Amino acid sequence: MEISRDAYAVLLPAFGDADFTIGSASFFRSGGVAALLGSTREEYTARRMSPERQRYETREQLSRYAFRARALAGNVLIAVDYEIGGVHRLHQLGPQLPHPNSVLEMSELEIRAFGAEAARAAKLCGVNFFLAPVVDLVTGSNPWLRDRTFSIDPDIVGRVASAFIRGVQDEGLVATAKHFPGHPNVTIDPFDSETVTVTATLEELAPSLRCFDATIAAGVRAIMTGPIPVDAIDPAEPASCSAKIVGMLRGAHNFKGLVVSDDIDLPGTLRGRTVPDIAIASLKAGVDLLLLASGPQVDEVAARISQSVKNGELGRDVLARAARSVRSLADGAWQA
């Protein structure tokens, strides 16, 4: 039973709306700790929530989701994308900028205040976990990150992201810098391709890594890895499955917080493997929390993780450490 509950604890399923469905209840009752209030593919690519969602979704509905999750699971992490002018899941329920570049007209104090205001609005919705900010430096073609970044200057990105993170975490929420180690040029959206990679050289990645160093210095509590291989570091594995990339984040960059995967069910991550295969590989690589779509696959992945521990494929200590890290972060977010 303890292994099974740990297997659910390391999963971050994305639920499409704020209705607390049978699927949500089953997940939290089984040991789940973290859930993402997600969006449709159309909303994600449009970088805005649909008019229908904005009409019917209320602060009270969102906060009820968190209340019911806590009733089943205790302290939980309720996540949303709340990017600086990019993907903004809370629509009119929280402050937002008209475009990522708008942040360039703001002082660091104003950015920190904006982050704090966003966090306060999110708390009223029961949200305590931002999958933001994006700190990638986009220097070439990148449809995946279109309209989600705001500068190619690492000093500016580091300064802006750090101010936003401090504002968010001043209010007790968890911020997440993404997508490590950086994606300067990604010519095809990982949602649409099984073969796309980050082709940047180590020299070209260096400015992106400076941005992550700035967020780590600012105390960011979570970092999300990217969804595809980075040729200069590990051409064989997507970043979320790469012990080299996670090891670099933990070692050379001295990050002590939670490591979150990007979607483990994207074609660019799967590359012919199954979602449970990717989940096991990510945990072995040192990732703590695995993002994936909700639905029947959540139970399938949890069952495979449990079985992999029982048959010795995955170390019991590896799963226990990851689950403990997720629960600890959830406890801290609710005590703040």
Asked whether the predicted pLDDT for residue 336 surpasses 60, the reply is no
Which is higher by pLDDT, 329 or 190?
Answer: 329
Measured between alpha carbons, how far is 10 from 33 in angstroms, rounded to an integer? 8
Number of domains in the chain: 1
Q: Mean of the per-residue pLDDT values for the chain?
A: 93
pLDDT of 101: 83
**Percent helix / strand / coil, the chain, rounded to 5:** 50, 15, 40
pTM for the whole structure: 0.96
> Confidence class of residue 275 from pLDDT cuts 50, 70 and 90?
very high
Which pLDDT belongs to residue 285? 99
Q: What is the pLDDT of residue 260?
A: 99
Q: What is the pLDDT of residue 335?
A: 59
Q: What is the pLDDT of residues 40-72, one digit of tens each?
A: 787 877 778 888 888 888 999 999 999 999 999
35: domain CATH number is 3.20.20.300
Token pair 């209340």 is found at 67
Which range of residues forms the domain containing residue 295? Answer: 2-335
Contacts within 8 Å (CB) and 24+ apart, 151-160? 151/104, 154/207, 154/208, 154/210, 154/211, 154/214, 155/210, 156/104, 157/211, 157/214, 158/210, 158/211, 158/213, 158/214, 158/215, 159/108, 159/214, 160/84, 160/103, 160/104, 160/108, 160/111, 160/133
For residue 32, what pLDDT is reported? 99
Residue 75, pLDDT score? 97
Residue range 94-110: mean pLDDT, rounded:
89
d(CA 254, CA 249): 6
Identify the pLDDT of residue 127. Answer: 96
Task: Check pLDDT > 60 for residue 173.
Answer: yes
pLDDT surpasses 80 at 181: yes
Average pLDDT over residues 133-141: 87
Where does the pLDDT of residue 18 fall: very low under 50, low under 70, confident under 90, or very high at 90 and above?
confident
